[in-house]
Structure 1
Amino acid sequence: MSAALLPKPQMRGLLAKRLRKHITVAFLFALGCAASYKFGVAEPRKKAYADFYKNYDAMKDFEAMRKTGVFQSVGPK
């Protein structure tokens, strides 16, 4: 009696149905991770580099390192 009341489980197409759902969720998750990395890490890093090199003087930095004796081939003045 109770066996007749239980619905039959779906067996045909179950894998394809579940894969469609899981692939969609995985794609959206990966897209969210990529966007959060781009705007949370890459863009601030590019801005920091741009800000640093905006006022960077390579010759001034070279002279400071030369005076402290960092280089072996260039003696201090």
Structure 2
Amino acid sequence: MSSALLAKPQMRGLLASRLKKHLVVLSILSLGIIVGFKFGVSEPRKRAYAEFYKNYDFAKEFEAMREAGIFQSAPPKGS
């Protein structure tokens, strides 16, 4: 009588039914991670680069590096 109360285990299609559920969960988690990375890392990085290069003076930076003697082909002024 106790065996009649227990449900029979699923013997066929167990892998397929589990895979469907896991693929749905995996897809949702993957999309969440992608969106989180885009708005949590990529967009702030783009804004930081844009802000940095908004007021960046290439010529001034080149002259500072040239005076420091970083370049071998461009000697400091006055040499």
Same fold (TM over 0.5): yes
Query: Partners in 1 of 2:55 and 2:5 — Cα distance?
Result: 78
TM-score, normalisation: structure 1: 0.88
Corresponding residue of 1:20:
20
RMSD over aligned Cα atoms = 1.3
Alpha-carbon offset, residue 54 of structure 1: 0.6
Partner of 1:35: 35
1:47 paired with 2:41, answer: no
**Which residue pairs with 1:70 in the alignment?**
70
Q: For 1:38, what is the secondary structure of its paired residue? A: helix
Task: Supply the distance in 2 between the matched residues of 1:57 and 1:7 (Cα, whole angstroms).
Answer: 75
Q: Tell me the SS of whatever aligns to 1:21.
A: helix
Measure how far apart 1:10 and its partner are.
Answer: 2.4
The percentage of aligned residue pairs carrying the same residue is 65
2:53 partner amino acid: Y
Q: Whole-Å Cα distance in 2 between the matches of residues 16 and 37 of structure 1?
A: 31
Gaps of 5+ in 1: none
1:4 to 2:16 alignment: no
Count of aligned positions? 77
Under a length normalisation based on structure 2, what TM-score does the superposition of the two structures give? 0.86
